[in-house]
Amino acid sequence: MSSEADSSTPMTRLLEHRKLSPLDLARRTGVGAQEVQAFLNGATPNPLLLRQLASTVDLHAADLHVIAGLPVPDKLAPLDAAAGGLAATLVEHTIRLPASHRHQLRQAVHAMPQETRTQPVPPLPPREQYPPGPGGLILRMLRNRNLEWIGSAKCLARLTPHYLAASTLGMIGHGRKELTPDLLVSFATLLAVPADDLAALTGIAIPRGQTSINAAASDAAQLIWDIRRLTVDQTQQILDEAASMLAVQEAPQDRA
In a domain, 64, yes or no: no
Contact 58, 25 (CB under 8 A): no
In a domain, 172, yes or no: yes
Let me know whether 97 and 17 are in one domain: no
Shortest CA distance to 210 belongs to which of 193, 191, 196, 192? Answer: 196
- Provide the pLDDT for residue 124: 87
Residue ranges making up the domain that contains 213: 75-256
Let me know whether 122 and 247 are in one domain: yes
- Provide the pLDDT for residue 212: 62
Let me know whether 45 and 94 are in one domain: no
In a domain, 70, yes or no: no
Element (H, E) at 138: helix 134-143
Contact 56, 14 (CB under 8 A): no
In a domain, 86, yes or no: yes
Q: What is the CATH number of the domain that holds 29?
A: 1.10.260
> Would you state the torsion angle of the CA atoms of residues 111, 224, 215, 170, taken in this order, to the nearest 10 degrees?
170
In a domain, 171, yes or no: yes
- Give per-10-residue mean pLDDT for the chain (256 aa): 55 91 86 85 82 88 91 93 96 96 97 91 91 96 97 97 96 96 95 95 85 85 97 97 93 62
In a domain, 237, yes or no: yes
